[in-house]
Amino acid sequence: MEGSSSCSSMLSAPRQPSFLLSTLERLSNTPCLKLSAQEAPPVAVIALRRYLSEQAVDQQQPVFYSYDVTVTDGSWRAKCFLHPSLNHLVHTNTLRTGSDISVRQCSYVYNERRLGCGYICVEALVCDAEKSALLPGVDDIRSLPVLVKPGMERSMLLHSDVPLQPDCRHYLPLWNNDDPEGDIWMSDSPSSETVLDVSKVALLGGLESYLRYSKKPYPLLVKIIHKSRLRYYGRPGLKIHYPYQAYFEVADKSGIMSLVLWNDLCPEFYQRLSVGTVLYLQNYALKKSYSNKSRPQMSHYGMTNFTSTEISLNYREPAAVITIVSPKSVQPQWGLPEVSYQFTSRSELENLPGDYVCDVIGLVTFAGRVERVISKGNKGPDKYWSYRWVHAVDGTFDQPFILELFSTSHPEIFGHICPMTYLVCTQMRVCKVEGSQPYLSSSCGTEIFITGYHKGQPYVGDPRVKSFIQWTKTLKDNTVMQKSTVGGYYCYPHPPRFFKQTAAKSPVPLVSAADLKKELETLQYREHKRVAIQGWITAVRYTEAPRSSETQTMEGNEVSDDEQEQVGPEQQASPPTVKQTFAGGSLSPSSDRSSANILKIKNHQSETTPSCLNRGSASSKRHRNTHGREEEEVDQGQVCNAPFWEISGWSIQQQELSERLCQGGLHQDSIFRKFVFDERITLMQWSNLQPGQWTSEPIADPIPPASCPGYYQLTILGINKQMAVDAAFFPVGNVGDPRAVGLPQDPHNNTMLSCLSSGFLFPLSGAALPQPEEILVTASELEDMHLVCVLDLCHLGGNQVEVLMNKVYKFTEVFPD
């Protein structure tokens, strides 16, 4: 997005007044190279780029990643360095592309180790409108001149696809580490049409002898039969410009062997090499394979798999020579094997053992929102994986495939998975968990293809694929679309019948109330965590509709004037705490923007509701905010005459709490949407992660409010009665809910406890469901009942944090160490 404007484009400056231009001129005339402004016109964010920090920053906590932000005022564009004290605004997607910001403080920083280079550092800002008012008036962002300080024309090099910080060579994706990002990743280049000398080539079966006797081997002529996900292993202090690694499985007539692409060769070749590509390799190295390396399943080839040796391709020492052979030049006498697959139908899945590896094809009927999770066993900087849940049908069974798909280094495919597309997933692993139907999870060796990417793939001639295509021709689009859904809260597998806390690390960690607060405070954008806490349910309130986008927007999305000291360069600002940011309550559109910050969680709250089922009227309280103003706080728990229940004496107990973590109920983003083909672009933008670069494509229309029958707001009192947390409970209420797939539907009596234990209302079809009042009448059995509550946490961006009750366990269903 930063583009490659020439110096001539800089000289043809627009005539209209420019805020960015005047800012740079004022910085040039300021002795201290620093500029502050309490009132500043907005600029639009058009790119946010992330990279590994190479410079030590004097802060209380280490900063592993830096961010460059590109902004425009409609006349110029400027790539600026984001001061590390503002990084948390990116982590929470408060600072986002396509929005407007007001820069309140900035400075000019010279590169002391390079002549004629410098950049603007943004040190304080206010996030304005989520959707920019400036960008719709800009026809072509790339045509805008790049802002460069006079005499600093060499900085043009740094305004290309290169980070601003010294010694940093390339950008990382904004939300994970393993997807290719930037112009350095080559995807299109012609294959070799030259005549190859294949009179003397080595076979894979004879390479171990070369390794044993340290002889220089002959060239190799091999075919790629498997491609793994890209792996980034960068960390601060590692003196490697492009720390990447990619594994391939290659084959010739003698067998199969692993090939490793290293470092600088990954940007040049990773995207150009695909399954079926034939390679002529020279100057390669041979290494002993790592014994604990995970390997793709290749047994269906019926060939020898050489696992003790691997081929290593490096940029230097030695400099490997890689020739991509044109398909027209491949000769049958070379004896290279055909690419093979092992497709499994949905009807066969039930009988497959756990950890079995297979390939699948299906028609997508549900595409969940993209979420993130911290990678397991990561010892360096935080490394996130992006993933989504998908349902796909193949016509062989009445239930779909349940697929857990992690990003596979093909973001252009991963981000376009949506209903009505044909999906092929290779090297999927069968997962079997107690109390849930089997599902398939992707591995580092999985590749994903959807409609638009199937042409030319080796699997198109597979009999299973042809049979699936014939089946899809019998379907009617409208019928399939009526059953297709997108986004919303979705978690799988379901918790088991009994909660077991083992000595080994539990899939659902049991945390203290203080730990829960820390988990909420440190959540990043679309990060998902599942935790369990002990305690009592002290109050239940039914609400008929999830919070609208207006009531979800809070002033925590801003860095206000009064908070400038917290985000200034002199002091490292910590991310907003739960108590500061994730407040209960709502704001009307007419509320004073600066008043939003006062909706903090109170340490001492009181309510005057009786301990039985009630229909309260809306109530309000007067209190003073953090700036001393008296404000009115709406008690969201009693709006719309909502029925509720609470334990006896709860109003007194609340006054003794040290803290109450209020999360504001169910969000619109938690509700799945029916898939409509004409709205697919909007729905895909809504369910995907915020893009790192803004494009001038037509802005998607706002999504209308989701249809939701209602939800329950629960208050959970921690086991030591010092802290309470509010969580939403959104039970499955019909078979059209994607969460109903694979859900154990044992009959129950629709009491509050049985609904919380099972996660659904019984029955899901064929009979009238109980009314909320009928369920709440039974809530009294929760009083003084010691429970373990499983909570799903997900940061939805800005100040929206999803805290949903997944399941409760009675203490008789809990097994300690």
Q: Across the strands, what pairs with 760?
A: 732
Query: What is the residue range of 77's domain?
Result: 7-159
Q: Give the integer Cα–Cα distance in Å for 36 and 28.
A: 14
Residues 460, 368: one domain? yes
Residues 397, 328: one domain? no
Residues 148, 223: one domain? no
> Smallest Cα–Cα separation from 429: which of 419, 439, 415, 414?
439
Q: What is the mean pLDDT of residues 271-288?
A: 95
Q: Given this model, what pLDDT does residue 476 score?
A: 93
Hey, CA dihedral for 468, 470, 471, 475, is it positive or negative? positive
Q: Does residue 173 belong to any structural domain of this protein? A: no
Q: Does residue 350 belong to any structural domain of this protein? A: yes
306 contacts: CB under 8 Å, gap ≥ 6: 204, 205, 207, 208, 255, 256, 257
Residues 242, 121: one domain? no
Residues 735, 596: one domain? yes
Whether 131 has a pLDDT exceeding 70, the answer reads yes
Whether 264 has a pLDDT exceeding 90, the answer reads yes
Confidence of residue 114 (pLDDT cuts 50, 70, 90): confident
Q: CATH number, domain at 454?
A: 2.40.50.140
620 contacts: CB under 8 Å, gap ≥ 6: 632, 633, 634, 635
> Looking at per-residue confidence, does 278 or 19 come out higher?
278
Q: For strands 485-486 and 673-674, give the pairing.
A: antiparallel
The per-residue pLDDT for range 776-792, each reduced to its tens digit, is 999 999 999 999 999 99
> Looking at per-residue confidence, does 8 or 53 come out higher?
53
SS (H, E, C) 423-485: EEEEEEEEECCCCCCCEEECCCCCCEEECCCCCCCHHHHCHHHHHHHHHHCCCCHHHHHHCCE
State how far the alpha carbon of 429 is from the alpha carbons of 275, 358, 426, 442, in Å.
19, 7, 9, 6
Q: Give the integer Cα–Cα distance in Å for 147 and 13.
A: 9
Q: What is the mean pLDDT of residues 703-718?
A: 88
The per-residue pLDDT for range 756-779, each reduced to its tens digit, is 999 999 988 877 889 999 999 999
Q: Does residue 433 belong to any structural domain of this protein? A: yes
Q: Does residue 140 belong to any structural domain of this protein? A: yes
Q: Does residue 188 belong to any structural domain of this protein? A: no
The per-residue pLDDT for range 531-545, each reduced to its tens digit, is 999 999 999 999 987
Whether 56 has a pLDDT exceeding 60, the answer reads no
- Asked which of 105, 138, 159 is the last residue of a domain, the reply is 159
Q: Which percentage of the chain shows pLDDT scores above 90?
A: 59
pTM of the shown model = 0.87
Min mean pLDDT across 11-25, 36-50, 127-141, 244-258 is at 11-25
Q: Give the integer Cα–Cα distance in Å for 323 and 724.
A: 63
- Asked which of 159, 194, 227 is the last residue of a domain, the reply is 159
Confidence of residue 192 (pLDDT cuts 50, 70, 90): low
Q: Given this model, what pLDDT does residue 379 score?
A: 63
Residues 318, 363: one domain? no
Min mean pLDDT across 82-91, 149-158, 305-314 is at 149-158
Residues 474, 538: one domain? no
The per-residue pLDDT for range 639-670, each reduced to its tens digit, is 446 689 999 999 899 999 999 997 678 999 99
Residues 304, 418: one domain? no
**Burial of 154: CB neighbours in 10 Å, binned 0-12, 13-18, 19+:** middle
Whether 55 has a pLDDT exceeding 70, the answer reads no
The per-residue pLDDT for range 429-471, each reduced to its tens digit, is 999 998 889 999 999 999 999 999 999 999 999 999 999 999 9
Residues 436, 531: one domain? no
Q: Given this model, what pLDDT does residue 30 score?
A: 82
Q: What rounded mean pLDDT belongs to the chain?
A: 83
Most confident of 105-114, 152-161, 519-528: 519-528
Q: Does residue 677 belong to any structural domain of this protein? A: no
- Asked which of 486, 503, 520 is the last residue of a domain, the reply is 486
Q: Given this model, what pLDDT does residue 142 score?
A: 86
Q: What is the mean pLDDT of residues 309-337?
A: 93
Residues 231, 362: one domain? no
Q: Does residue 166 belong to any structural domain of this protein? A: no
Q: Given this model, what pLDDT does residue 203 score?
A: 95
Min mean pLDDT across 169-173, 282-286, 601-605 is at 601-605
Min mean pLDDT across 14-28, 201-215, 711-725 is at 14-28
Q: What is the mean pLDDT of residues 183-211?
A: 83
The per-residue pLDDT for range 547-580, each reduced to its tens digit, is 655 444 433 344 433 443 334 444 444 444 443 3
Q: Does residue 690 belong to any structural domain of this protein? A: no
Residues 318, 358: one domain? no
The per-residue pLDDT for range 416-430, each reduced to its tens digit, is 999 999 999 999 999
Q: Give the integer Cα–Cα distance in Å for 554 and 780.
A: 35
Q: Given this model, what pLDDT does residue 750 score?
A: 94
Min mean pLDDT across 187-191, 335-339, 445-449 is at 187-191
Q: Given this model, what pLDDT does residue 208 score?
A: 83
Q: Given this model, what pLDDT does residue 576 score?
A: 41
Residues 641, 757: one domain? yes
Confidence of residue 401 (pLDDT cuts 50, 70, 90): very high
Q: Given this model, what pLDDT does residue 378 score?
A: 60
Q: Give the integer Cα–Cα distance in Å for 764 and 542.
A: 19
Q: Give the integer Cα–Cα distance in Å for 739 and 758.
A: 12
Q: How many domains does the chain have?
A: 4
Whether 745 has a pLDDT exceeding 90, the answer reads no
